Structure formats: C-alpha cells, structure tokens
Amino acid sequence: VNHVTCALCDMVCTSVSSLKAHIKFRHCNERPFHCHLCDSSFKNAYDLHKHVETHNGSDAYSCDVEGCGFISWTSRTLRQHYKRQ
C-alpha cells in the first residue's frame, strides 16, 4: 500500500486522490456551494443540503426573540445563542 503524506500537516493518506480530498476539505477555504436563501456557503453539497434544511425549520431549534431569525440543529447551539444576547 502506498502512503502519501500531506505537506501541510501530519496526515497520511493511502492514495493521491484521498490526499487531494484531504487538502481540499482541511486546508482550502474555497466554498463553492452557496445557499440561495442566505449568504452562507459550503465546501460540499451535503453540508449545503443540511444547511438549507434549517431554513424550513422543521427539525431545527429557533430563537423565539422577535425579529431574530437564528436557527440551529442543536439545542446546545441555541442555548449558546441566547447567552450571547
């Protein structure tokens, strides 16, 4: 098995293609997947999809302060949001 080491960290990958994926997701800030409902952007389609689901609010936790549109997938993040206000 060939092992390829990342030049930017200590990660060792088993193929050049997995090294390329590692570099893309760990070391690059490119976010080509943009939400059509807000200004958020993501590194991959899956993360964008999960984000877009927060806009429908069906399984999300949302702030009940009038005028605040904050939505989170976890109650913990919503509690942190309340503490910051």
The structural domains of the chain, ordered by start, are 1-30 (3.30.160), 33-84 (3.30.160)
pTM, to two decimals: 0.51
pLDDT band with cut points at 50, 70 and 90 for residue 49: confident
In sequence order, the β-bridge partners of residue 33 are 42
pLDDT tens per residue, range 5-43: 999 999 999 999 999 989 988 999 889 999 988 899 998
Strand partners, 66: none
Cα separation, 76 vs 69, whole angstroms: 17
